[in-house]
């Protein structure tokens, strides 16, 4: 199993890494939030740029990315534009989406970018190769905020992301019943043991799915999202409690 190293953080070995989203609307809010991270158990910071008021002004995005990078010191930054069709705040054309991700990857201010895997293969592979050429790792992602597909379909999507060349395939699904959480966990185990040659990230959302955000080390998910001041998706718990549970499970294994 290959691991993915960003700065001092190795994703895919030991305790699942904790990623904390930043959902500020202004540069000031974003930097204020980032300033709190050094006192928290944060392995990776996710800048959810779809929340940012100036997201369609690339120059402003790059200036904020630079300042965010400085404010976070050694904490790696994951840059994510979550589109409204996958549960994010704003719509964006595929061309603009590619242009933004490429500009940010080139800037050197971020360590990882999130690319929605079903944006179209050509655009996805072009963003991935551009990121790689600039030393930036890629998380391919897929979200369904309404339901959980069958296990085989979940595995198929994760394998597709691997084929597209993403460093880390990720999927977040909403359970409509308790069984859906088991389906997500089964798919995670099958993917991580049988098909993945790299770390993967999975989660079942909302209260019913919380258990899946805690058990990554057991079933094969390498990173989990926790909240500092404001969650970016249903089911994220506070980082302190999250770390405690992850440490308990880590010690037992
Ligand atoms: O893809 C994900 C996962 C997520 O949706 C979650 O459920 O924790 C939160 C998002 O901020 C992130 O980009």
Beta strands (DSSP E) in 186-243 are 201-204, 223-225
Instruction: Supply the CATH number for residue 96's domain.
Output: 3.20.20.70
Q: Is residue 222 part of a domain?
A: yes
Binding site for 3-dehydroquinate: which residues?
46-48, 82, 213, 232, 236
- Angle, helices 58-72 vs 27-35, to 10°: value is 20
Catalytic residues: 143, 170
Q: Is residue 10 part of a domain?
A: no
For residue 217, how many other CB atoms are within 10 A of its CB?
A: 18
Residue 70 has phi, psi (to 5 degrees) of: -65, -40
d(CA 35, CA 228): 12
d(CA 110, CA 167): 15
Of the candidates 145, 142, 47, 34, the residue with the CA atom closest to the CA atom of residue 101 = 47
**Residue 35, both tokens:** 């300033």
Which of ligand 1's atoms lies nearest the C-alpha of 114?
13
Q: Is residue 1 part of a domain?
A: no
d(CA 103, CA 65): 11
Per-residue pLDDT of the chain (253 residues; tens, 9 = 90+): 799 999 999 999 999 999 999 999 999 999 999 999 999 999 999 999 999 999 999 999 999 999 999 999 999 999 999 999 999 999 999 999 999 999 999 999 999 999 999 999 999 999 999 999 999 999 999 999 999 999 999 999 999 999 999 999 999 999 999 999 999 999 999 999 999 999 999 999 999 999 999 999 999 999 999 999 889 999 999 999 999 999 999 999 9
Q: Is residue 11 part of a domain?
A: no
Total domain count, the chain: 1
What is the value of pTM for the model shown? 0.98
The residue whose CB lies within 8 Å of the most ligand 1 atoms, and thus the one to mutate among 17, 203, 231, 235, is: 203
Q: Is residue 3 part of a domain?
A: no
Residue numbers of the domain that contains 94:
17-252
Q: Is 213 in the pocket of ligand 1 (CB under 6 A)?
A: no
Q: Is 172 in the pocket of ligand 1 (CB under 6 A)?
A: yes
Q: Is 130 in the pocket of ligand 1 (CB under 6 A)?
A: no
Q: Is residue 2 part of a domain?
A: no
């Amino acid at each position: 199993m290959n691991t993915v190293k960003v700065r001092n953080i190795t994703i895919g070995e030991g305790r699942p890494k904790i990623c904390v989203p930043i959902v500020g609307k202004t540069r000031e809010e974003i930097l204020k939030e980032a300033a709190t991270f050094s006192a928290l158990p944060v392995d990776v910071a996710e800048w959810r740029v779809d929340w940012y008021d100036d997201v369609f002004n690339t120059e402003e995005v790059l200036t904020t990315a630079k300042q965010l990078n400085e404010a976070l010191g050694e904490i790696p930054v994951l840059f994510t534009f979550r589109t409204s069709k996958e549960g994010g705040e704003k719509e964006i054309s595929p061309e603009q989406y590619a242009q933004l991700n490429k500009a940010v990857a080139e800037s050197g201010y971020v360590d990882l970018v999130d690319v929605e895997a079903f944006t179209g293969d050509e655009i996805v592979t072009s963003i991935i190769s551009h990121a790689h050429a600039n030393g930036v790792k890629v998380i391919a992602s897929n979200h369904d905020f309404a339901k959980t597909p069958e296990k085989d379909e979940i595995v198929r999507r994760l394998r597709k992301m691997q084929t597209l060349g993403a460093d880390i395939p990720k999927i977040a699904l909403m359970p409509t019943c308790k069984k859906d959480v088991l389906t997500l966990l089964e798919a995670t185990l099958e993917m991580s043991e049988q098909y993945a040659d790299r770390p993967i990230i999975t989660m079942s959302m909302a209260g019913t799915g919380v258990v899946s955000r805690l058990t990554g080390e057991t079933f094969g998910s390498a990173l989990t999202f926790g909240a500092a001041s404001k969650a970016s998706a249903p089911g994220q718990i506070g980082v302190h409690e999250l770390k405690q549970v992850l440490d308990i499970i880590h010690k037992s294994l």
